[in-house]
Amino acid sequence: MRITIQQKARGRWLNLTLLTFIISLTAFAQQAAAQQTQADNTYLEAAVLWQQSSGERRALSYQSFALARMLLDRDPRANRRSKMKRAIIVDVDDTVLDNSAFEAWMIKNNRPYEAQSWTEWCNRAAATSVPGAVEFLRYVNSRGVRVFYITNRKLVEKDGTATNLKKVGFPEVTEETLLVRTDPKSSSKEPRRLSISSRYRVVLLMGDDLNDFAEVFETSKTVSTRIDATERNRAQFGTRFIVLPNPMYGHWEDAIYGEGKMTAAEKAEKRRNALRE
Ligand SMILES: [Mg+2]
């Protein structure tokens, strides 16, 4: 078959177009990769270093679980008149599972928080336990008190979470006790807390975020309303609510940013503006 001059020219043109397309695609991919590495997590470094390297964090953690054990032991045993079995409610992330390695990965790889990488982390089931958490929950379990894990990890992360919790030694991780977020429209833990308190006498709640304790905190979204809500509920801390330290992330940080999407630079400005001299 003979190839005409026109066909040759068309072939060359097609090759050139294809080449241009590939070059543009490569440039686009490089640009996307560059954008992906733009997250500046420098401000996070001190928080993650403290969480991972300080004896103080470890000590605070032991202190929290020691207090929890004292409260459980002092609790007027099943209240005699009350037929309700006792339970405690714990949050998962940075209350019983330590996610500081994920935060460290974000810093080292200049990555922002992304749902996909978070799900991958959850499903790797690689988190360690928070110091003192396994021993405490095993103790709770040995006393015949139920343990419920309420987390805002999603359904797609549930199996990985259960595997992780069991792998590091947590007791009573079952379909009934591990309550993930199932409502895509709401992250509130209140309905899950209520479903437990309708069947059990909840002795203690433990968390690293005020939203782990009561609805009043979930609806207080600004720095000042969160502080006001904490003041109004002061008597509950150390008696019914026990807070674990987490300077790495949380609703305390969201409160600084306020509503709406913003750029990293805008967030940095909000943080700077929130500092008081
Ligand atoms: Mg948490």
Task: Say how many Å lie between the CA of residue 73 and the centre of ligand 1.
Answer: 25
What is the amino acid identity at position 101?
A
Take residue 269 and report the two structure tokens written for it.
Answer: 């400005």
Mean pLDDT over residues 167-187, rounded?
97
Query: How many Å is the Cα radius of gyration of the chain?
Result: 25
The answer to whether 52 touches 100, Cβ cutoff 8 Å, is yes
Task: Say how many Å lie between the CA of residue 213 and the centre of ligand 1.
Answer: 11
The answer to whether 150 touches 90, Cβ cutoff 8 Å, is yes
On the question of pLDDT at 2 being above 70, the answer is no
Phi, psi for 239 (deg, rounded to 5): -120, -40
Band the pLDDT of 116: cuts 50, 70, 90.
very high
Task: Say how many Å lie between the CA of residue 180 and the centre of ligand 1.
Answer: 12
Q: What was the pLDDT predicted at 15?
A: 72
Task: Say how many Å lie between the CA of residue 217 and the centre of ligand 1.
Answer: 14
Q: What is the mean pLDDT of the chain?
A: 91
Return the CATH number of the domain spanning residue range 39-274. 3.40.50.1000
Q: What is the pLDDT of residues 196-214, one digit of tens each?
A: 999 999 999 999 999 999 9
- Range 194-211 burial, b when 16+ CB lie within 10 A, else e: eebeeebbbbbbbbbbbb
The answer to whether 247 touches 43, Cβ cutoff 8 Å, is no
How far apart (Å, rounded) are the C-alpha atoms in residues 241 and 246? 15
The answer to whether 207 touches 90, Cβ cutoff 8 Å, is yes
Instruction: Give which of 172, 91, 174, 167 is closest to 127, Cα–Cα.
Output: 167
- Least confident residue range of 59-63, 82-86, 123-127, 175-179: 82-86
Mean pLDDT over residues 107-122, rounded?
97
Task: Say how many Å lie between the CA of residue 200 and the centre of ligand 1.
Answer: 22
Task: Say how many Å lie between the CA of residue 3 and the centre of ligand 1.
Answer: 69
Task: Say how many Å lie between the CA of residue 6 and the centre of ligand 1.
Answer: 68
Sorted by where each begins, the domain ranges of the chain are: 39-274
Helix (H) or strand (E) holding 145: none
On the question of pLDDT at 257 being above 60, the answer is yes
Take residue 15 and report the two structure tokens written for it.
Answer: 């090759």
Task: Say how many Å lie between the CA of residue 108 and the centre of ligand 1.
Answer: 22
How far apart (Å, rounded) are the C-alpha atoms in residues 171 and 163? 12
Task: Say how many Å lie between the CA of residue 231 and the centre of ligand 1.
Answer: 21
Task: Say how many Å lie between the CA of residue 95 and the centre of ligand 1.
Answer: 6
Percent residues over pLDDT 90 in the chain: 82
Task: Say how many Å lie between the CA of residue 98 and the centre of ligand 1.
Answer: 9
Q: What is the pLDDT of residues 20-70, one digit of tens each?
A: 666 666 666 665 555 555 688 999 999 999 999 999 999 999 999 999 999
How far apart (Å, rounded) are the C-alpha atoms in residues 147 and 258? 34
Tokens 């020691």 sit at which residue?
A: 66
Task: Say how many Å lie between the CA of residue 210 and the centre of ligand 1.
Answer: 9
Q: What is the pLDDT of residues 8-22, one digit of tens each?
A: 666 676 676 766 666
Q: What was the pLDDT predicted at 83?
A: 79
Q: What was the pLDDT predicted at 51?
A: 98
The answer to whether 121 touches 174, Cβ cutoff 8 Å, is no
On the question of pLDDT at 124 being above 70, the answer is yes
On the question of pLDDT at 76 being above 80, the answer is no
Task: Say how many Å lie between the CA of residue 152 and the centre of ligand 1.
Answer: 8
On the question of pLDDT at 5 being above 80, the answer is no
Task: Say how many Å lie between the CA of residue 248 and the centre of ligand 1.
Answer: 11
Take residue 237 and report the two structure tokens written for it.
Answer: 């801390």
Residue 249 CB coordination number (10 Å): 19
